[in-house]
Structure 1
Amino acid sequence: MKFTRMFGSYVVRSIKMCKYKHRHGNIAYSTTANPSSANYCLNTVRQFDYENFICTLLLPSNYRTSAFAIRAFNIEVARVQDSVSDSQIGQMRMKFWEDTIEKIYADSNVPQHPVAAELYSASKRHKLTKRFLKRLISVRAAQLSSPTFPDLDAAELYAEASVSSVYYLLLESAGLQSVRADHAASHLGKAQGLANLVRGTPRQAARRAVGLPRDVLARHGVPHEAVFRARSSRALRDAVLEVAHRAKQHLDKARSLGKQVPKEGRCLLLPAVAVGSYLDRLQAADFDVFHPRLRQRDSLLPLRLYWRKLFSEY
């Protein structure tokens, strides 16, 4: 227990030091837009995606700033659906980002937006694939007009496009070209995307929306109104279990490829630790997605992440 407390304190100090270096410019910004835009991306990820924020802090400094830019961009497009009530306004925001990507790759009049500025710098440093950035926009834009999934396979395809694409970009930022790493990233993205659908159920229910696939709910006899009431039932738990089981299958597959992923790429897949932690806690709550315990942060996550990083595991 004493060792655990000491090691946990060491992790916290390491993370704080990383934040300090980011704020005070000790991390090289020679090819980034400017420290303020880099800090904007860092703070955006910290505010809206805390688990991935911790994982990104643990990346090597030579591409950490670019990783924050990629994740901040993903947050910008992902939050459009939650921040607008009119789908037309949402499509206009998506169009802004679509045009921004075109300007970034054309070296022409990139908007004075901190995320756009950092993404421009990252794309020049690492030759990020334009197709992956555009896919993050298009898949979210399609969700604006059709926010529900007809079946679990459709949800899985969405997870691949909206989450795995982020990992492909992160691998590119590290200069890593590996079919095995891409394969692991694909499965991790699917696992994380499906886990996010389950995890977002309470928030979606409060907006009278349902992210769980329609075929899964129908198979277990769960009407949408039952989800909106935010009260668990055996049928709803069974539906959540089915989606969580698919997520766990992808997580297990991603981890089974760990030894085949180049060592320098394994730290990019550290979010697997957070996904696994959530699925374990969900199982401990008997798949009651509304259980109060699931709204609490995993206080041991920084320790687990640092431990896995030390041993080049995820």
Structure 2
Amino acid sequence: MTKALRSPALVVRAYNAEIARVQDQTTDPQTAAMRLQFWQDAVGVIYDQQNANIPANPVTQELNKVCATYKLPRRYIERLISSRAGLLKNKYFKSLEDVEAYTENTVSTIYYLLLCIAGVANVHADHAASHLGKAQGLVNILRSVHVSNYHKTICLPMEVLMKYEVSQQAVLRGTDNENMRNVVFEIASRANSHLEKARKIEVPKLCNQIFLPAIAVDKYLTKLQKKNFNVFDKSLQLGSPMLPLSLYYRRLLNKY
């Protein structure tokens, strides 16, 4: 990103990372809820302009500055917390539509905040951000299958698992078979559909650098297809050495 966007964008992503990892830091729902409440209270202090009471947390301190400078909408900042709190209560996704709703409230919301920082108020940009966020969120769900095995939780939508007669235990055991690949194919197809829709929308040029994570999403889906949708293939967890070059090249072209 350009220097003007880089620093505030880093703050927003750091804030999101702090909230997102709450559910990974503890298996106790009460402890997780208390940690989310800390962030909810901190946001309340920031927007109620009680500067003297802002917690001595580096992310909170920087978020306070960014929210004040760029007038970030409170609803987006709080949505990142409430969506995670909702997942803590429900513990699983019932359908693909539930996953899409969750990714809209998490990943897409990050893009909305970045557009606010860039001063882009454009309905087409918002539409593209919505689709890209859903594509990225669905890919994150697929990539998290390995992590889920450690936490003994299933992020894949239950309706899709039932449709192809795949049990939760089979996912936790890392069982690769045709039914499991059908589950992955259906989720990956939905992600690819959102990615294609996002790229077809004409957006202001400044948006192209904000939406560059689309390159990583595309690369993962392409690699997954080459592995015949075996989500347990270990090579899918390895970083791509060519990704930085791809990002740099697309940045030069000003395309995502």
Residues 140-289 of structure 1 mapped to structure 2, 5 A cutoff: 140-257=84-201, 260-289=202-231
Which letter does structure 1 place at the counterpart of 2:255? E
* 1:67 positional shift: 0.3
How many pairs align?
254
**2:164 and 2:154 mapped to 1: Cα distance?**
15
Paired residue secondary structure (1:89): helix
Which sections of structure 1, spanning at least 5 residues, go unmatched? 1-58
Q: Which residue of 2 aligns with 1:32?
A: none
Q: 1:30 maps to which residue? A: none
Q: CA RMSD in A?
A: 0.7
Q: Deviation of residue 312 (structure 1)?
A: 1.0
One-letter amino acid of the counterpart of residue 144, structure 2: G
Amino acid at match of 1:289: V
* In 1: Cα distance, 2:150 partner to 2:31 partner: 21
Name the amino acid aligned to 1:275. Answer: V
Q: What is residue 81 of structure 1 aligned with on the other side?
A: 23
Aligned to 1:53: none
Q: Tell me how far 1:120 sits from its aligned partner.
A: 0.7
Which one-letter code corresponds to 2:80 in the other structure?
L
Read off the aligned partner of 1:67 and give its amino acid letter: A
Q: What SS class does the counterpart of residue 263 from structure 1 fall into?
A: coil
Partner-residue secondary structure (3-state), 2:121: coil
Query: What's 2:45 paired with?
Result: 103
* Alpha-carbon displacement from aligned partner over 1:264-292 (angstroms, at most 9, x marks no partner): 12100000000001111111111111101
Aligned to 1:129: 73
Identical positions, percent: 43
Task: Give the partner amino acid of 1:156.
Answer: E
Task: Name the CA distance, whole Å, in 1 between partners of 2:238 and 2:5.
Answer: 30
For residues 23 and 89 of structure 2, the distance between their equivalents in structure 1, rounded to whole angstroms, comes to: 10
1:26 corresponds to: none
Q: Which residue of 1 aligns with 2:236?
A: 294
CA shift, 1:231, in A, is 2.4
Q: Is 1:62 the equivalent of 2:14?
A: no
Aligned partner letter, 1:117:
Q
Residues of 1 paired with 2:175 and 2:165: CA distance? 15
Q: Deviations over 1:153-201 (max 9, x none)?
A: 1011001001100000001111111111111000000000011001101
Output the CA distance in 2 between the equivalents of 1:106 and 1:60. 31
Q: Deviations over 1:197-228 (max 9, x none)?
A: 01101110222211000000000010111011
What residue is the counterpart of 1:37 in the other structure?
Answer: none
- Give distance in 2, aligned partners of 1:249 and 1:265: 20
Q: Which runs of 4+ in 1 moved over 6 A?
A: none
Describe the superposition over 1:238-281 as per-residue Cα deviations: whole angstroms up to 9, x where unpaired: 10110010000000000111xx2100121000000000011111
Aligned to 1:305: 247
Deviation, structure 1 residue 235: 0.6
2:235 aligns to what SS in structure 1? helix
Q: 2: distance between equivalents of 1:284 and 1:82?
A: 30
Aligned residue identity for 1:311: L
Which secondary structure does the structure 1 equivalent of 2:166 belong to?
coil
Q: TM-score, normalised by structure 1?
A: 0.80
Offset at 1:230?
Answer: 1.1
Gaps of 5+ in 2: none
Report the 3-state secondary structure (helix = DSSP H, G, I; strand = E; otherwise coil) of the residue aligned with 1:212.
Answer: coil
